[in-house]
């Protein structure tokens, strides 16, 4: 004869463990497609001009004397690597890290656009290229999407 209360207690513990594990994960749903498109836009922006004739990849590798070097690193980490890891692992904490990283990269990107338009002289700067603008718009889209995902966590019971 089996001891039913012990079996039920064990089953309850297992259900609670599964519930706690599930509470640590998120489901991006259709938002994963928007995140993937934004990441693709960032990758495409790296082959487009960022400042003058310098493409984003040359800026990222340090081969171009362009100003938005910090943004190129930030967009690579917060716009490509973090979203990939976060979508694979699907943890709430990483969703918040992705949101904060996207925020920092978007601020850096807006400042990069501003810096390409200004100089110390009386002549205007070279201005942002289409690739820089695409990368900034894509990282802002990622920021909004990650904030929505991170803030949608249900209250813990």
Report how far residue 83's alpha carbon sits from residue 138's, in angstroms, rounded to the nearest whole number. 12
pLDDT profile of the chain (157 residues), mean per 10: 68 74 77 94 95 89 82 95 94 93 96 84 80 96 94 71
Q: pTM of the predicted model, to two decimals?
A: 0.82
């Amino acid at each position: 004869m089996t001891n039913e209360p012990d079996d039920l207690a064990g089953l309850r513990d297992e259900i609670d463990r599964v519930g706690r594990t599930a509470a640590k994960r998120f489901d991006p749903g259709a938002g994963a497609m928007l995140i993937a498109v934004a990441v693709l836009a960032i990758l495409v922006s790296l082959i487009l001009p960022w400042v003058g004739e310098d493409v984003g990849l040359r800026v990222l590798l340090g081969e171009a004397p362009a100003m938005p070097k910090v943004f190129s690193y930030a967009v690579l980490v917060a716009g490509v690597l973090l979203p990939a890891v976060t979508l694979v692992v699907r943890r709430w904490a990483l969703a918040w890290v992705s949101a904060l990283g996207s925020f920092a990269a978007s601020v850096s990107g807006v400042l990069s656009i501003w810096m390409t338009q200004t100089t110390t002289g009386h002549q205007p700067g070279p201005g942002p290229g289409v690739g820089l603008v695409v990368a900034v718009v894509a990282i802002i889209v990622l920021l909004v999407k990650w904030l929505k995902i991170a803030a949608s966590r249900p209250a813990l019971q």
